[in-house]
Each structure stands twice: as C-alpha cells, then as structure tokens.
Amino acid sequence: MATQRRTSPAAIAEPPDAVAGPATLPAQEAVRTVRIDRAGAGTGRRAEMCRAAAQIFRTRGFDATSVNDIARELGLTKAGLYHHFASKEALLFEIMTFGLDRVRDEVVIPVSAIRDPEERLRQLIVRHARITTRGQGAVAHLGDEIRALPAASRKQIEEKMRFYFDLVRNTLLELRASGRLCEVDPTVANFSLLGMILWLPRWFRQDGRLTQDAVAEEIAKFALGGLIQRRRAQARPRPTARRKVGK
C-alpha cells in the first residue's frame, strides 16, 4: 500500500486514515517543516525556490532526486539548502502547502462570496485551471507524491484538499437542490472536474494556440455544458387565424 501512487483527487475522497498507508520514513524521522512567509508567499525568494524545486521533482521524480540535485539547481550548497529546509520531505511538504495556499487565496476565498451556484462553479473551474498551468504545472503534478510524506504532514495536506473538494461538492449539491444539475452523481461529477483540471498541465503548452485564460474558459464551458440542466423555453402557441365574418 505504501508504494501505490495516488492522485490528489483520490487522496481527498476518503478520510485521511483510509488513505494513508505506512509512512515511507520511520516515525522518528518526522519531517521538521519550515513555515512559508505568508507576507510574500506568492512572489518571494522562498516561493521561487518552491517552484524551482517542483520542476526538478516533476522532471526526475521525487524518489530519484537527491538533496545535492536540488541544491545544485537552486544555486545553493547542500548546507545552504538545509538552512532553508530540514529535509527533502520538508521541501515537498512546503511545495504542496504553497500550491494549496494559492488555491485557497485565489480560488476558494473569492468564489465563496458568489451566491449563484452556477457562477460559483464556473469561477471555481476557471480560477483553478489558471493556477494549474503556472510554471508548466510543476506544483500541480506533485499531488501523486503525497505518499512520500510522513503521516502527520500527509494528513495536513489531505485536510487542505478536503476543504476544496467539499466546496465543489456542496456547490453541486446546491445546484441539484434547485433542479439545475443534470442527472449525475455529485461525487462522480466532483472527481471528474478535479481530474480534468489537474490533467491540464500534462497537455497544455505555453506557446500553443490557446492562452491559459482561453483554455480555462473552454474547460468551464465544456464542464458546465454537461452538468447544468438548461430549461427549454416553452413554445408559444400559434395564434389562430380569425375568420372573416360576412356582413
């Protein structure tokens, strides 16, 4: 079970203790995480390090990447890297936290204020799709590596994922309650939406025909087209011709 790779959607579908197998590191080697600087998490040096390290993990794979590899790519010594991050697992945890915090700040918080569930769902899809393509989608790709985190760190990541998952699902349930959702299971719809968005970095090209914004809008259009029940306009009765009454 510990060697099975799980995607982010699968991780958030089940309770944390149902997902988490044995940690890949001994319990006594629990990761000592370093907190992100919240004031500049999106643009500061630490954010740049997270994005750069995510690219390395994406290219080589987490298990095949050494601390020396990361330090060299970041222009640091091994000791310099350990000054910022206690371990390779601590770095992975911070990258995942960094990505999920972007989702919280740029997706969850803004859309939570939208009252109409259809518009809320559309904004959820568009905003999330835009985030996943940043930096060639390296951060989004790392959902599969959650298995490498110790149990405590993995539980924190799964809880953050669950919060987003529940927001999408509750929006779908609200649409169903108002008769605006097609005949589809909300859980299936939720996983399908997440899978479609998280797969985007695997095929999107920054120099391609479509921009990030255009692709995000197309995905939202496609998803809503299959989920929202459109009410057909009631046909108006044709006016009957009046008979001429003779004098």
Whether 115 maps to a domain, the answer reads yes
Whether 138 maps to a domain, the answer reads yes
pTM of the model: 0.71
Domain that includes residue 166, residue range: 8-227
Q: Are 152 and 32 in contact (CB under 8 A)?
A: no
Residue 197 has pLDDT above 90, yes or no: yes
How far is Cα of residue 225 from the mean position of the Cα atoms in its chain?
A: 21
Say which CATH number the domain at 94 has: 1.10.357.10
Q: Indicate the number of domains in the chain.
A: 1
The rounded distance, in Å, linking the Cα atoms of 128 and 225 is 18
Q: Which two tokens stand for residue 153?
A: 């760190």
Whether 239 maps to a domain, the answer reads no
Average pLDDT over residues 164-191: 94
Whether 75 maps to a domain, the answer reads yes
Q: Which two tokens stand for residue 221?
A: 């259009």
Residue 11 identity (one-letter amino acid) = A
Whether 19 maps to a domain, the answer reads yes
Whether 104 maps to a domain, the answer reads yes
Could you read off the pLDDT of 50-62 as tens digits, one per residue?
888 888 888 888 8
Query: For residue 34, what are the CA distances in angstroms to 41, 51, 91?
Result: 13, 16, 8
Q: Which residues contact 130 (CB under 8 A, 6 or more apart)?
A: 212, 213, 216
Whether 243 maps to a domain, the answer reads no
